[in-house]
Structure 1
Amino acid sequence: MSSASMARRELYFLNWFRLAQALVYGLLAYGATGSKWLNPDHPAVAQIVAIVAVVYAVIALLRTRAWLTRPVLYTSVAISLDILIAIAAVLAMHNARIGIAMMLMVNLAGAALVLPMRLALFFAAVAALGLLAQVFFATKFNGFDGELLESALFGIVYLAASGMCNILGRQMRASEELAQRRGLDLANLAQVNELIIRRMKTGVLLVDDGNQVHQFNESAWMLLGSPPMNQRDLGTLAPELSRRLFHWRHYDKLDETAIALAEGVPEVVPRFTRLAANDDSNILIFLDDTSLVSRRAEELTLASLGRLSASIAHEIRNPLAAIRYSAQLLAESEDLVDADQRMVEIINNHCSRLNEIIENILQLSRRERSRPETLDLNAWALDFVEEYSESNDLGSDSLRAIVQPTAVEAVIDPQHLQQVIWNLVQNALRYGRMPGEPARVMLISRAASDAGPPLLEVVDRGPGIPTKVAAQIFEPFYTTHEYGTGLGLYLCKQMCDANQAELEYVPVAGGGSCFRITLAPPAQAPVSSDS
């Protein structure tokens, strides 16, 4: 409940009391005229006071919502009128002074719930002084000293009640605000938990003792074959899962073999647990996707293999450097015959090849965190082609950039993109040629569509890649070339994934290959992540 809502509630209660108080004034003014012990001293004045009190109470009750805009100001005005009406009622109906003074204490206490402490004590003091003043100016009184004492005691009670109610009001508002914050925190936490469960890769179902599914997350819905949302009977949704749940409930037997709950969905391993101990009324079912487990195991295996390969590569590098240095010294000798010179060339070539393998393995194990930037792919492609052509002797081969008239912006780590395109271009120049013909490679910058993501493509006009081979080219250590390492395209794929980009192979109609990179546009800039 907000502070405005609490103030509105307190003002409503206070205004309803004012209405009841005004009716009491009316009863005293009009209903007690024949009474000897409660006869008003000034009947006409008492009736006017009662009418004014009723009209004022009705207006205050109807204007409660408007008072919420400035509650302190309106409450101050209202309690001032309450004090004036009460003092006038005491003067007109002197015999009812004690009852009227007691009702005024309720007005002061209610106002203290809304007003600051200083104002609450100020109006309590004003009310006390008003009661004391009416003693001095009353035309009819008995026992002057006794009435003065009564008024003084009421003044003390007013001050005490106002102070206590003000403190209680502040504590009450603080407690309610704290409860409101806790309630909001719990509601937010419940929403977060619901979102987490809904987005979990593991399927989660809640099944009651009638075999009806009460809730399930998105993964469970997909693993069940995307059934209609109104279908809730587990026996109809997944008969095999229902059978396993029955055996687990009644015989405490759990079948942990993988099953496919629908056609075309991955196999899952179901697990069951009770929401409460020894209570079978509600059962949670977890559906573990075996493909995720296999993929995780593969990732762990590759990570371990990468660390092992890096360790071996470091150990090989030192003796390899010694072999290569010795071969270079041997090549400088003037006494080498042609056959020995040929042997030295073979040693140098294989040392270079082995060094390239080691570099790939080390790069696999020490990939750096991506640092994405916004790039204009048109300008970047032109700069890359110029730099590559200056650094490499293309001979009769050709490498050219095809760009768009308008800017094509994307978000990616420039260093990662340089490594990926450099590797793809080298592969295209090496393998993307027809026998006896020069290689023709194009680096194309474009957008998929007007509102589509930016694309960067490396296209050649070579023989292309067979379908069976294309399905495995991004796997680590897979190669069809006798001197290949099988890590180049795998590294390219990993660096693209680290930048929220997608690398894929696309056959070219009429022959040739296209390696397409779909990048993230600036509006969807990825957060830097570990490769």
Structure 2
Amino acid sequence: MSPDPAVSTTAVPASRPSSGSGPVRREIYFFNLFRVLQAAVYIGLSFSPLAAEWIPLHEPLLGRLTAVLYLLFALLALVQTRVWQQHAQAAIAVALCADVLAALLTIAALPTARNGVALMLVVDVSAGALLLPLRHGMFFAALATLAVLGHTFTEGNALRDAERDMLESALFGLAYFAAASLCYALGKQMRETEALAERRGLDLANLAQVNELIIRRMQTGVLLVDETNRIHQMNESAWMLLGSPPADRRDLGTVAPELSRRLYHWRTSDKTDQTSVALAEGVPEVVPRFTRLAANDDSHVLIFLDDTSLVSRRAEELTLASLGRLSASIAHEIRNPLAAIRYSAQLLAESEELPAADKRMVEIINNHCGRMNDIIENILQLSRRDRSRPEVLDLNAWVLAFTDEYKESNDLGGDSLRAIVQPRAVEALADPQHLQQVVWNLVQNALRYGRMPGEPARVMVVARHVSDFGPPVIEVIDRGPGIPPKVAAQIFEPFFTTHEYGTGLGLYLAKQMCEANQATLEYVPVAGGGSCFRITLTPPANAPGAPA
């Protein structure tokens, strides 16, 4: 959480340490460091006067040359550890070959130090088996065994010494294989444990980022305050409900004095004031709630700011849902007797002996039956939310077909309805049935209310793009008196109407259907008089203006 909403909160998976095909860990560094120590021992045995007294050099030139070259190789390996990690298996294999060769040449130059050099070779073979696959570890164990045994065969000592050296070489070979097997098992378990820890760490990092995003995007404001009333963290909703304070203002008493007073009252009396309050000018009222971060710790307190406007909207949605279900059941009960009344009135109107006054009464009955039927249909639509089945529509062709169908189904009289299309294709993703109901409702309203006194209505249905790369829209435009701004702010609310016979559900249902198709419906005033209801639709995935 951050008090500055400009801080990016994009969820990025935690980076996994690169493992590649071989071990990319600090073990390689310690392996190379041991190799430097091993080379230093060879240097000491080859060049030290004291060592020469204890361990005579049979081949001084070979021993000293081997020690120097091996030390240079060990230092190069240590310096290039980071480069080696990119090709770990190959680098370790080359290093082990150099270790075995250096050990073999050192034993040849210093035969009396054979046991010590062979013992140091156990560490090299074990480290290789720890970092390499099993077959590679066994290969280098066999290579070291052959090197020690080969020197024993070619040494040509006395028979008794040869038998003893052969036994020692065989024991060293057994030690090489045993150490390689044990270190491979240990390395395998170590790698599995490390991989499991990496996966758990990755999951925890992703979970932490998801939690942070959820808290930041919560509509409820969340603040973390310490015992000195200093704000440590807040999400975006809290930042907005506090009046968007600067990032350097962290004192709660300065940012929101009333909230600080209520926090002090809660801390001293453990009672919460449930009345709503606006914490800054121009922001919605909130109801603060307080809770301790830990059960026995009063130093840090979490403050939740519940936006009362959100609560009101949720209550309104629940009320509408309940009202819709209740009204639907009542509408079903009304529809049957209403159909009987209308049918009887139509039969009565066909009577030739009916006086003119009675015919007028029958006409009134039919008109009001039709109006009641429209009300029932709106109520049933309020309770029945059909799922959207979007299709890719050519809005140019759709608008032309719609206007033709509307003219065939309705007698326009002196009113006019025409379609305006574009020379280029205008495609959108929408449910054609929902779009038909929405535009039909808008056109009916435009023909009914969008006219100047004593003049015919002129209504246009336009299909176009907002701009060259903008989303597709359908606009229903009339040249009537327009809608006052105060009324326009409420026309999409349920049950709001300015007509004595209206239900206030037509535009509300139209907006709900648009939202079900990921579209928006808005009122746009027309310059020079008139009204425009604009439906902004979603373009297909491959169309200009489609979201990435």
Q: For 1:429 and 1:253, how far apart are their aligned partners in 2?
A: 59
Matched, 1:382 2:387: no
Residue in 1 aligned with 2:101? 84
Q: For 2:153 and 2:471, how far apart are their aligned partners in 1?
A: 90
How far is the alpha carbon of 1:50 from its aligned partner? 1.3
Match of 1:131 among 123, 126, 148: 148
SS at match of 1:3: coil
Q: Which deviates the most, 27-36 or 497-506?
A: 27-36
Q: For 1:390 and 1:482, how far apart are their aligned partners in 2?
A: 29
Q: Deviations for 1:78-134, whole angstroms, at most 9, x for unmatched residues?
A: 212211221221222122112111110111011112222112112212211221221
Matched, 1:57 2:65: no
- Preserved contact between residue 392 and residue 540 of structure 2 (Cα < 8 Å): yes
Matched, 1:21 2:65: no
SS at match of 1:70: helix
Matched, 1:12 2:49: no
Matched, 1:144 2:156: no
Q: For 1:335 and 1:489, how far apart are their aligned partners in 2?
A: 43
How far is the alpha carbon of 1:12 from its aligned partner? 2.1
Residue in 2 aligned with 1:443? 461
SS at match of 1:411: strand
Instruction: Call closer, same or farther: CA 1:24–1:34 in 2, change over 3 Å.
Output: closer
Which residues in structure 2 correspond to 1:153-164 (within 5 Å)? Answer: 153-164=171-182
Residue in 1 aligned with 2:137? 120
TM-score, normalised to structure 2's length?
0.90
Residue in 2 aligned with 1:261? 279
Q: For 2:116 and 2:215, how far apart are their aligned partners in 1?
A: 63
Matched, 1:67 2:84: yes
How far is the alpha carbon of 1:356 from its aligned partner? 1.6
Residue in 2 aligned with 1:208? 226
How far is the alpha carbon of 1:334 from its aligned partner? 4.9
How far is the alpha carbon of 1:259 from its aligned partner? 0.7
How far is the alpha carbon of 1:404 from its aligned partner? 3.0
- Preserved contact between residue 327 and residue 344 of structure 1 (Cα < 8 Å): yes
How far is the alpha carbon of 1:526 from its aligned partner? 8.7
Q: For 1:179 and 1:51, how far apart are their aligned partners in 2?
A: 42
Residue in 2 aligned with 1:487? 505
2:179 alignment partner AA: A
Q: For 1:337 and 1:54, how far apart are their aligned partners in 2?
A: 126
SS at match of 1:232: coil
TM-score, normalised to structure 1's length?
0.93
Match of 1:431 among 449, 452, 459: 449
Q: For 1:145 and 1:392, how far apart are their aligned partners in 2?
A: 116
Which residues in structure 2 correspond to 1:83-482 (within 5 Å)? Answer: 83-140=100-157, 143-482=161-500
How far is the alpha carbon of 1:363 from its aligned partner? 1.2
- Preserved contact between residue 500 and residue 526 of structure 1 (Cα < 8 Å): no
1:369 alignment partner AA: R
Question: Number of residues paired by the alignment?
Answer: 527
How far is the alpha carbon of 1:381 from its aligned partner? 2.0
Q: Percent identity?
A: 69
Q: For 2:274 and 2:444, how far apart are their aligned partners in 1?
A: 49
Q: For 1:470 and 1:396, how far apart are their aligned partners in 2?
A: 28
Q: For 2:244 and 2:51, how far apart are their aligned partners in 1?
A: 84
- Preserved contact between residue 156 and residue 162 of structure 2 (Cα < 8 Å): no
Q: Deviations for 1:131-157, whole angstroms, at most 9, x for unmatched residues?
A: 122122114466322222211111111
1:179 alignment partner AA: A
Q: For 1:377 and 1:34, how far apart are their aligned partners in 2?
A: 96
Instruction: Call closer, same or farther: CA 1:471–1:48 in 2, change over 3 Å.
Output: closer
SS at match of 2:243: coil
How far is the alpha carbon of 1:273 from its aligned partner? 0.8
How far is the alpha carbon of 1:250 from its aligned partner? 2.2
Q: Deviations for 1:387-428, whole angstroms, at most 9, x for unmatched residues?
A: 222222222211112233333343332221111111111111
Q: For 2:88 and 2:532, how far apart are their aligned partners in 1?
A: 72
Which residues in structure 2 correspond to 1:508-523 (within 5 Å)? Answer: 508-522=526-540
Where structure 2 has 5 or more consecutive residues not aligned to the other structure, the ranges are: 1-16
How far is the alpha carbon of 1:339 from its aligned partner? 4.1
- Preserved contact between residue 2 and residue 180 of structure 1 (Cα < 8 Å): no
Q: For 1:33 and 1:6, how far apart are their aligned partners in 2?
A: 40
Instruction: Call closer, same or farther: CA 1:226–1:138 in 2, change over 3 Å.
Output: same
Q: For 2:205 and 2:263, how far apart are their aligned partners in 1?
A: 32
SS at match of 2:460: strand
Q: For 2:287 and 2:72, how far apart are their aligned partners in 1?
A: 75
- Preserved contact between residue 79 and residue 107 of structure 1 (Cα < 8 Å): yes
Q: For 2:409 and 2:265, how far apart are their aligned partners in 1?
A: 70
Matched, 1:45 2:62: yes
Q: Deviations for 1:170-220, whole angstroms, at most 9, x for unmatched residues?
A: 221221122112112111111111111111101111111111101111111
2:72 alignment partner AA: V
- Preserved contact between residue 372 and residue 526 of structure 1 (Cα < 8 Å): no
- Preserved contact between residue 23 and residue 131 of structure 2 (Cα < 8 Å): no
- Preserved contact between residue 23 and residue 85 of structure 2 (Cα < 8 Å): no
How far is the alpha carbon of 1:335 from its aligned partner? 4.8
2:336 alignment partner AA: N
Q: Which deviates the most, 287-296 or 375-384?
A: 375-384
Q: Deviations for 1:292-337, whole angstroms, at most 9, x for unmatched residues?
A: 0011101111111011000101111122222233333444445544
1:15 alignment partner AA: N
- Preserved contact between residue 10 and residue 113 of structure 1 (Cα < 8 Å): no
- Preserved contact between residue 23 and residue 88 of structure 2 (Cα < 8 Å): no
- Preserved contact between residue 23 and residue 89 of structure 2 (Cα < 8 Å): no
SS at match of 2:339: helix
Residue in 2 aligned with 1:504? 522
Q: Which deviates the most, 364-373 or 179-188?
A: 364-373
- Preserved contact between residue 493 and residue 503 of structure 1 (Cα < 8 Å): yes
How far is the alpha carbon of 1:432 from its aligned partner? 1.8
Residue in 1 aligned with 2:18? 2
SS at match of 2:172: helix
Q: For 1:389 and 1:461, how far apart are their aligned partners in 2?
A: 19
Q: For 2:527 and 2:24, how far apart are their aligned partners in 1?
A: 75
SS at match of 1:143: helix
Q: Which deviates the most, 59-68 or 292-301?
A: 59-68
SS at match of 1:113: helix
Q: For 2:376 and 2:469, how far apart are their aligned partners in 1?
A: 42
Q: For 1:509 and 1:52, how far apart are their aligned partners in 2?
A: 90
SS at match of 2:462: strand
How far is the alpha carbon of 1:374 from its aligned partner? 3.6
Q: For 1:515 and 1:98, how far apart are their aligned partners in 2?
A: 95
1:216 alignment partner AA: M
- Preserved contact between residue 231 and residue 250 of structure 2 (Cα < 8 Å): yes
Q: For 1:326 and 1:249, how far apart are their aligned partners in 2?
A: 73
- Preserved contact between residue 103 and residue 117 of structure 2 (Cα < 8 Å): yes
